[in-house]
């Protein structure tokens, strides 16, 4: 009894060099020339211009199933033919595992997969052909997706927190600037009031000085004229009658 598992979901896998378009290896669940010819055609057409095609996932639907292909950063072309009910993410997870195992390096002198390389490729296919393996992988993938989503949500929350802290800091800065402006305005108001008071005092003193300069001489002049009039009126008039009386006595 053959202990190997005959693939039924993973029908065909092809590996090639995208730079020189050389065949490296393949694995087929059964002999089918159409699968190999179609894979070769897709390989040649897709690798004519590989610029900007690295790590891109491609899907081609056919009567035989769904062809998935991609090119790794190391210029290795991977193609699979899978039944249409098989999960796409499982397909590319299998391709990623083939990349990780560096199966394309297990080659002979012709540059094609040697016996260990073929066995390693077949082993990976058998693992992903197992329905139990698929379900576990799907669950793990779902957990991984949830984990990534939670991490993104945490990053968003942290980003929002940082934004709130930034806004709070800006608000405090604006408040401090407003208080400083208020303080400066109050000091400026006091300074302006003091300057106005000084000019008012100076103006009052100037007015008082002008009044004194004008009024005091007038008051002094008026006082001198009054004294002169009083002096002339009271000193000469009493002497004149006495002189006349004396003259009259001598005549008698």
Angle at 126 between CA 120 and CA 130, to 5 degrees: 150
| pLDDT confidence band for 239 (50 / 70 / 90) | very low
Q: What is the pLDDT of residue 188?
A: 85
36 occurs within a structural domain: yes
Query: Which DSSP letter does residue 23 get?
Result: E
Q: How many domains does the chain have?
A: 1
Q: What is the pLDDT of residue 224?
A: 67
d(CA 252, CA 61): 180
Please check the confidence at residue 212 and state whether its pLDDT lies above 90.
no
Whole-Å CA distances, 44 to 16, 40, 77, 191, 236: 10, 6, 10, 88, 155
Q: What is the pLDDT of residue 40?
A: 93
**33-60: average pLDDT:** 89
pTM for this model (two decimals): 0.51
- The distance between the two most distant Cα atoms of the chain, rounded to a whole number of Å, is 203
Q: What is the pLDDT of residue 3?
A: 43
Is residue 16 within 8 A of residue 104, CB to CB? The reply is: no
142 occurs within a structural domain: no
49 occurs within a structural domain: yes
Q: What is the pLDDT of residue 248?
A: 45
163 occurs within a structural domain: no
Higher pLDDT, 108 or 161: 108
Q: What is the pLDDT of residue 228?
A: 62
Please check the confidence at residue 134 and state whether its pLDDT lies above 80.
no
Q: What is the domain range of residue 70?
A: 10-129
To the nearest whole number, what is the mean pLDDT of the chain? 82
| C-alpha gyration radius of the chain | 59
Q: What is the pLDDT of residue 252?
A: 42
d(CA 248, CA 154): 143
The closest alpha carbon to 16, from 92, 96, 75, belongs to 75
97 occurs within a structural domain: yes
156 occurs within a structural domain: no
Q: What is the CATH number of the domain that holds 88?
A: 3.30.450.50
d(CA 83, CA 63): 10
216 occurs within a structural domain: no
| pLDDT confidence band for 232 (50 / 70 / 90) | low
213 occurs within a structural domain: no
| pLDDT confidence band for 187 (50 / 70 / 90) | confident
Q: What is the pLDDT of residue 141?
A: 72
């Amino acid at each position: 009894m053959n202990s190997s598992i005959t693939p039924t979901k993973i029908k065909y896998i092809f590996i090639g060099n995208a730079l020189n378009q050389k065949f490296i290896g393949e694995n087929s669940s059964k002999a089918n020339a159409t699968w190999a010819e179609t894979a070769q055609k897709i390989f040649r057409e897709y690798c004519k211009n590989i610029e900007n095609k690295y790590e891109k996932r491609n899907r081609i639907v056919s009567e035989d199933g769904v062809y998935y292909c991609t090119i790794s950063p190391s210029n290795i072309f991977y193609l699979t033919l899978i039944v249409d009910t098989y999960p796409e993410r499982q397909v590319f997870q299998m391709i990623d595992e083939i990349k990780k195992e560096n199966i394309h390096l297990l080659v002979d002198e012709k540059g094609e997969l040697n016996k260990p390389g073929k066995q390693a490729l077949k082993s990976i296919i058998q693992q992903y052909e197992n329905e139990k393996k698929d379900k576990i992988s799907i669950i793990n993938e779902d957990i991984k997706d949830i984990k990534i989503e939670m991490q993104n949500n945490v990053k968003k929350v942290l980003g929002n927190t940082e934004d709130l802290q930034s806004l709070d800091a800006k608000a405090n800065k604006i408040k401090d600037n407003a208080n400083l402006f208020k303080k400066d305005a109050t000091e400026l108001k006091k300074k302006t009031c003091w300057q106005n008071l000084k000019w008012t005092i100076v103006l009052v003193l100037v007015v008082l000085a002008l009044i004194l300069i004008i009024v005091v001489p007038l008051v002094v002049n008026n006082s001198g004229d009054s004294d002169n009039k009083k002096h002339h009126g009271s000193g000469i008039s009493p002497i004149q009658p006495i002189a006349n009386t004396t003259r009259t006595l001598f005549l008698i």
